[in-house]
């Protein structure tokens, strides 16, 4: 057992499906801890001023983190570092990682210091609906959370190293420890420090996030941090590649800020409801959508570096079909059981029935765009693997412009649901354009097989829905659904029925995605069975 855990902790994961399984399971644990966190916050503070402040305070630190870190790693660091590992000596690759870490460290110190000083001037623009004590608390909590931004920036470099070397397990459990830190802040620090303890807990979680990833990255070879310099060729390449990604993320963050600003001017608790719904819909996105993009990215980068066109398309097409296999039933399940999900996760203490209905309605609208939100990260990473970082930028500009226009048009007649509808419409626009452009660049993407997979999955989902709804309604007639255990019985029974029916339907239709997932899981669990070839069968002749 100890040797198994040691292999899992330090071992390299070779296949995309196996890597995605590891990331998905770890993401499931992370999301469970996140749901515990959300329930604790909702029951303690309700959908009111304190959580409005808490979520609004995240925006500026997140803005800086997304601009500097996600821009560098998603678009530039992993492809360049992977190329160094494949084509150069490992020493050169580790020197590059150390140089990037030192540059990021200095950049984040300067950025965090500047925002700390300017917070009283910036926060009123982020949340124009906040005044008085609510605004002052938002400024204070924003300053505290900058500590988490700095720490997560360093941790993100460690995570890039782990992804590039295919150490997905440790990379995947870091978010679990991040959530544990926030929970400890809510349980232990809030009674001592008041609501500000929530911000301190976020910093504590970021420290946990960094330490667990650094423990493996240092062992692999990241031991030296040189004096920061922009002269090395690898650093300059990364900066060049990250520029368009950073600009794209800036537009995205500005758009989210606009939505937040519009929500802050609505009824009290709108910001909290928006974030609760977004966090809930991120559960399947984090478990099924993002893991395949993360797992496929290094593989696509390696294939592009070797100029292996077939492998690139095999990895991409296989990942898309697996995302559809998991995310479409998740979206439909959320729509059918939206009120149950919200009430079970958040409905306690000061989180009343009105807040439940508002959050459930928001969740349903978010769920309509889950397939688009899940496939888009994979499409973007396909462009990044080809080092075409400007392409996702202009596509993102179109998508975000669509979101902004619809947000301003829909917020007045529909309020918060209108803002979320604008977000969902933009997600589909961005996904469709990305697919068309990638197909124009790479040629055939296995589109026919993707459509077959989608129609097969959708058929199984209709059968699944036909089984879930009667079970949900029957239990609703048996129990008054006034207690948590009653809602839990209804939810668990409905989900269990849906999973079984979906599985049987897909098996009857001989789904290759189901067969491949089962094969990869068994091979990883028992260390037997042939290596999985990512979508090779489906890609032939497409």
User: Is residue 7 scored above 70 in pLDDT?
Assistant: no
Q: For residue 230, what pLDDT band results from cuts at 50, 70 and 90?
A: confident
DSSP letter string over 252-277?
Answer: HHHHHHHHHHHHHTSSTTHHHHHHHH
User: Between the CA of residue 121 and those of 117, 265, 361, what are the distances in Å?
Assistant: 9, 18, 34
Q: Is the pLDDT of residue 478 over 80?
A: yes
State which H helix or E strand residue 353 sits in: helix 353-367
Tokens 């909590």 -> residue: 141
pLDDT of residue 165: 80
Q: Average the pLDDT over 264-271 and give the result.
A: 79
CA 143-145-146 angle, to 5 degrees, is 70
Residue 235 counted as domain residue: no
Closest to 280 in 3D by CA, of 218, 332, 345, 205: 345
pTM: 0.68
Which pLDDT score is estimated for 362?
92
Assigned token pair, 468? 């879930």
In a domain, 382, yes or no: no
Residue 398, number of CB atoms within 10 A of its CB:
14
pLDDT in tens, 484-530: 788 889 999 999 999 999 999 999 998 888 887 776 655 554 454 43
The 10s digit of each residue's pLDDT in 365-386 is 999 999 999 999 899 888 888 8
Closest CA to 190 of 257, 240, 125, 141: 141
- Two tokens at 316? 């991409």
Which residue segment(s) compose the domain that 142 sits in?
68-229
Classify residue 211: in a domain, yes or no.
yes
pLDDT greater than 50 at residue 534: no
pLDDT of 329: 94
Q: What is the pLDDT of residue 457?
A: 94
The tokens of 329 are what? 């039933």
Tokens for 85?
A: 């590992």
Domain count, the chain: 1
pLDDT score, position 515: 82
Residue 80 · residue 238 · CB < 8 Å: yes
In a domain, 440, yes or no: no
Q: Is residue 370 part of a domain?
A: no
Predicted confidence (pLDDT) at residue 532 exceeds the cutoff of 60:
no
> Would 126 be classed as within a structural domain?
yes
**Is 416 a residue whose pLDDT tops 80?**
yes
pLDDT of residue 536: 26
pLDDT of 83: 80
**CA 476 – CA 496 distance, rounded (Å):** 16
Q: Is the pLDDT of residue 148 over 70?
A: yes
Q: Is the pLDDT of residue 480 over 80?
A: no
Contacts of 283 (CB under 8 A, 6+ apart): 31, 34, 35
Share of the chain above pLDDT 90, in %: 27
Question: Pseudo-torsion of CA 364, 366, 368, 370, nearest 10°?
Answer: -130
pLDDT band at 470 (very low <50, low <70, confident <90, very high): very high
At 37, is the secondary structure helix, strand, or coil? helix
Mean pLDDT of the chain: 82
Cβ burial of 528 (10 Å; 0-12, 13-18, 19+) is exposed
Query: Contact, 281 vs 370, CB < 8 A?
Result: yes
Please, are residues 465 and 332 in contact by the beta-carbon 8 Å criterion?
Answer: yes
Q: Provide mean pLDDT across the span 106-132.
A: 88
Tell me, yes or no, whether 34 lies in a domain.
no
- Is residue 488 one of the residues assigned to a domain? no
157-190 per-position pLDDT tens digit: 888 888 888 777 788 788 889 889 989 988 888 8
Percent of the chain at pLDDT > 70 equals 88
Report the alpha-carbon angle 474-479-482, nearest 5.
130
CA 262, 376, 165, 103 torsion: positive or negative?
negative
């Amino acid at each position: 057992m100890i040797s198994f855990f040691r292999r899992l902790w330090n071992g390299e994961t070779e296949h995309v499906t196996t890597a995605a399984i590891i990331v998905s399971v770890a993401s499931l644990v992370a999301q469970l801890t996140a749901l515990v966190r959300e329930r604790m916050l909702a029951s303690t503070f309700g959908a009111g001023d304190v959580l409005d402040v808490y979520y609004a305070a995240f925006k500026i630190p997140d803005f800086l983190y997304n601009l500097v870190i996600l821009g560098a790693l998603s678009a530039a660091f992993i492809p360049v570092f992977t190329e160094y590992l494949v084509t150069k000596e490992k020493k050169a690759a580790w020197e590059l990682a150390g140089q990037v870490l030192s540059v990021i460290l200095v950049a984040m110190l300067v950025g965090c210091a500047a925002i700390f000083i300017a917070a009283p001037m910036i926060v009123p623009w982020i949340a124009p609906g906040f005044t008085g004590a609510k605004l002052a608390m938002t400024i204070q909590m924003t300053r505290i959370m900058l500590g988490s931004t700095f720490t997560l920036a360093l941790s993100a470099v460690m995570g890039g190293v782990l992804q590039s070397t295919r150490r997905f397990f440790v990379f995947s459990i870091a978010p679990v420890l991040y959530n544990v830190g926030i929970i400890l802040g809510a349980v232990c620090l809030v009674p001592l420090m008041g609501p500000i303890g929530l911000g301190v807990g976020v910093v504590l979680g970021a420290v946990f996030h960094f330490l667990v990833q650094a423990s493996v990255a240092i062992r692999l070879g990241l031991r030296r941090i040189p004096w920061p310099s922009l002269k090395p060729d690898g650093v300059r390449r990364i900066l060049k590649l990250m520029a368009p990604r950073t600009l794209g993320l800036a537009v995205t963050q500005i758009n989210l800020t606009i939505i937040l600003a519009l929500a802050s001017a609505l009824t009290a608790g709108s910001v909290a409801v928006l974030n609760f719904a977004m966090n809930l819909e991120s559960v399947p996105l984090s478990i099924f959508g993002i893991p395949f993009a993360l797992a496929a990215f290094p593989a696509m980068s390696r294939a592009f570096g070797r100029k292996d066109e077939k492998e690139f398309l095999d990895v991409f097409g296989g990942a898309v079909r697996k995302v559809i296999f998991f995310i479409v039933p998740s979206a439909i399940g959320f729509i059918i059981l939206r009120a149950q999900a919200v009430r079970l996760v958040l409905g306690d203490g000061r989180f009343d029935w009105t807040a439940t209905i508002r959050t459930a309605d928001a969740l349903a609208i978010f769920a309509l765009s889950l397939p688009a939100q899940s496939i888009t990260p994979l499409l973007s990473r396909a462009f990044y693997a080809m080092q075409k970082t400007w392409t996702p930028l202009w596509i993102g500009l179109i998508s975000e412009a669509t979101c902004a226009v619809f947000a301003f048009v829909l917020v007045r007649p529909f309020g918060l649901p209108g803002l979320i509808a604008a977000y969902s419409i933009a997600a589909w626009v961005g996904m469709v354009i990305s697919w068309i452009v990638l197909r124009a660049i790479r040629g055939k993407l296995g589109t026919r097989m993707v459509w077959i997979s989608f129609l097969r999955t959708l058929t199984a989902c209709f059968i699944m829905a036909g089984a879930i709804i009667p079970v949900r309604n029957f239990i609703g007639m048996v129990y008054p659904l006034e207690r948590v255990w009653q809602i839990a019985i209804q939810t668990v029974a409905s989900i269990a029925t849906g999973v079984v029916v979906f599985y049987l339907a897909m098996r009857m239709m001989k789904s290759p995605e189901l067969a491949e997932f089962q094969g990869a899981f068994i091979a990883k669990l028992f260390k037997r069975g042939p290596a999985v070839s990512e979508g090779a069968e489906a890609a032939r002749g497409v």
